Amino acid sequence: MADLVKLFNITARDFAKAGESSLQIQSLLKSIGFEPDLIRRISICAYEAEMNAVMHGGDGELLLTVDPKNIVLEVSDDGPGIKDVELALREGYSTATPEHREMGFGAGMGLPNINKNADSLAINSLDGRGTHLRIKFKVGDS
């Protein structure tokens, strides 16, 4: 049984298109028929991760893998990386620029929100060498 694998590109600072991938992921998961609450949690994480990459990250990729037991989002970008991961996971901590804030972003809720909604989150980031997020969701009670 082949898993469903789909790759999305993320363009740095392209705010006009930002959110498109999350929307596509949402509609894909909807047509497969996963339960709405799971889809909502995945969409939130996809959106936050996508926005983080668009705002801070530089160009990147979002890879969706779906199998009957797990749904995994892998988001990687070649941006500056996260200096202090523990700090970045704290609600309200933000490195957003005034420009981001003017657009309504930068409340410091991105990573905390992902952490809250995912079943597991692994952050791999080195200062100056980009960020890789692996966000995992369990399907059903399995």
Partner 1 sequence: MTETADNTELVHYVQIDESLCNGCVLCMKVCPTKAIRVKEGKVARIEGVCIDCWECVRVCPKGAIKAITSDTFDLTEKDNIIVSPSTVLYSQFGQDVLPNDVLLGLKRMGFGYIHDQSYTSEIFNLAIELYIKENREKPNSPLPFISPVCPVVVGLIAYRFPSLLRHIPPLVTPREIVAREGKARLSAKHGREPEEFKVLHITPCPSKMICLKESILQKRSFLDAAIGINSVYEELKNNIKDVEEDIVLHHSGGIGLSWGMSGGEISGLDLHCLAIPGLQETIHYLEKIEMGLLGDIDYVEFRACSEGCLGGPFTVMDKYQGKRNLQKLVRMFGVEKRIKYGYVKKLYEKGWFFTDKSQVPGGEELPQLTSSEISRAIEKQNRIEEILRLLPRKECGACGCPDCSTFAEDVVDGKDSLQSCVFWEGQKKKLGIAGKGRDYPNVA
Contacting positions for partner 1 (CB under 8 A): 1-4, 6, 22-23, 26, 28, 31-37, 39-41, 43-44, 47, 66-69, 139-140, 142
Instruction: Please report how close the Cβ of residue 31 comes to partner 1 at its closest, in angstroms.
Output: 6
Residue 128 vs 142, nearer CB to partner 1: 142
- Indicate the length of the chain as a whole number: 142
Instruction: Please report how close the Cβ of residue 44 comes to partner 1 at its closest, in angstroms.
Output: 4
Residue 34 vs 93, nearer CB to partner 1: 34
Give the helix/strand (H/E) hosting 4: strand 4-10
